[in-house]
Chains A and B, each alone.
Chain A
């Protein structure tokens, strides 16, 4: 049985419950600490399914937490994402512990169902030996049979902005899009890559209503300061919210999809080497319209969303200092 979760009722202090804010005084992120803020009691599901503009597949990311600890699916248990006609198994581990990701071919307007299934042979399909002859089946785990479902919100259409060049982190990016006023939530995910000619930094950030008040309203426009994306390595990064949890898994999968696999699997977790504020940075902004999904009543809580996204690229290019 499936029901609509009342997320805000469960976790009034965290409207976007699962996102952990990384307030970094240092210069790097350790991906192993990249765990979302989830309740320390009960079984909690995180799942994001995103369809990007013009893409005929959706990126699916999912994880389950038990008493605050990520649950690794083992022994042939795994997430299956499916539509009425397509199906994919989430075999790829995401950059967040206990998270799994895959891309699922989708048509417009379809529902996506997520199930935990036990498929001891298919789960081993990447192994070289006769998996249908040689396997030990410990039987289905406790999560098998649990499910969730998402429905995509209307597509996002961003007003043209691409390749605008900004020269100061005080500058403001004016993002505008076509609102649909159906109560969906908006947020921006960004993949940032900076180079100073010698070194490179890359990282992911999120701008949601924890970072910027009313960011989540689907009102058609948002002014976002560049300091939500670019920071000074020497001064810290307390204005940024580095991306984590299922959103991190999802954005990495989206970048993989858009680059046909030609992207570093740790792109969003890389060490910072170039100082972004002194470097030329390409900022890939992914504006997401999110709609809550539903999950099985046997979960104690969760956050399941379907989203549509569109991308716009801007450039940060600091002025060259005179000697």
Chain B
């Protein structure tokens, strides 16, 4: 059996390969972050807080501006259970995104720097709904996946432990536009707000 990557996997492989290739160059940074997320589908949804990770690669054009490429992976995030005339139901959502943008920064004299991120994302999101109707009626679940574009923003502060190792605190906002547009009469925009803690390596 051979592994045949799809378009999504090919894009990931290309990104990681490119990051590995350029990792030998100067003025670059790799960082990984753990995110505490809040998901908002813009309506009466009631998602619990979730977890995610991001990986970022930065290439600094000069002392204050870098290219930002990254990957966002969220864990499956559950919604609180709800009940209506149909029955009990609960959704969960999971998303991955490729990020590409710019990262301006301001390095202080002290071992701190402030930075921001701004860019576009290409996302893949899966939404699942579990439904329960009561005794004697079969329960069920259904899911659907969509891909599309959006944007992301971030503001953070980095603390240089050494000139190579950095600790990062960041507030991020990821926006996915028109999720399930074309598949449904009820598309929505998905916002992921996050607080993250990460570590980085400069080289």
Contact = CB atoms under 8 A, between A and B. Distances in A.
Interface residues of A, number: 25
Contact of B84 (A126, A132, A133): A126
A238 to B, nearest CB: 37
Contacts of A141: 137
Given A128-B44, A135-B129, A136-B141, A72 B91 contact: no
Given A74-B85, A123-B85, A136-B142, A129 B134 contact: no
B184 A123 contact: no
A291 interface: no
Main secondary structure of the interface of B (DSSP, over half): loop
A124 B84 contact: yes
Contact of A124 (B86, B143, B144, B188): B86
Contacts of B91: 129, 134
Interface residues of B, number: 32
Contacts of B133: 74-75, 138
A130 interface: yes
A242 interface: no
A74 B142 contact: no
B85 A78 contact: yes
Contacts of A124: 84, 86
B28 interface: no
B68 interface: no
A322 to B, nearest CB: 54
Interface of B: 41, 43-45, 82, 84-87, 89, 91, 127-129, 131, 133-134, 137-144, 180, 183-188
Interface of A: 72-76, 78, 91, 93, 100, 120, 123-124, 126-136, 138, 141
23 contacts: A72-B134, A74-B85, A74-B134, A74-B137, A75-B86, A75-B133, A91-B84, A123-B86, A126-B44, A127-B82, A128-B45, A130-B184, A130-B186, A131-B186, A132-B185, A133-B184, A133-B186, A134-B142, A135-B142, A136-B140, A136-B141, A138-B137, A141-B137
